[in-house]
Amino acid sequence: MLYKKNFYLVFAISLAILGFAAVPSLTRHHPAPNILIISSLLFFGLYVYEAMKSTAAKAKNEEADFQTRMLTNELNKLQTLLDNNMITQEEFEIKRDNLKLQYANQINHYMNF
């Protein structure tokens, strides 16, 4: 949300700079407005790139957190079933090892993403 607010601010500043650079009396005698156009476009482009990159990283982190919570809930359910004698110790260990493998795969996927 912060990037969205800052995006509008940067966009307004870029438009103001470009509007200043578009005044014909200023551009006739001095090359500075041309530099302003290029620098404002570069600044705006870099800002958009950083905002998109951070949004992708945030989505990746949220997905990893969701998967971790799901695996933790599954492990808690298995522990409850074991405590209530609904599954045997062997079944619990097999399913727990399976969850550990899923968790390790998820961590490897997160680190390589």
Provide CB contacts within 8 A for 43, sequence distance 6+: 10, 14
Q: 99 lies in which domain range?
A: 2-112
Number of domains in the chain: 1
Q: What is the pLDDT of residue 51?
A: 77
> What are the contacts of 60-66 at 24+ separation with CB within 8 A?
60/110, 60/113, 64/106, 64/110
Those residues whose C-beta lies under 8 Å from the C-beta of residue 35, and which sit 6 or more positions away, are: none
Could you say which residues of the chain have pLDDT below 70?
1-7, 15, 17-34, 113
Q: What pLDDT score does 1 carry?
A: 46
d(CA 68, CA 49): 29
Read off the pLDDT of residues 41-59 as tens digits, 9 standing for 90 and up: 787 778 778 878 888 788 8
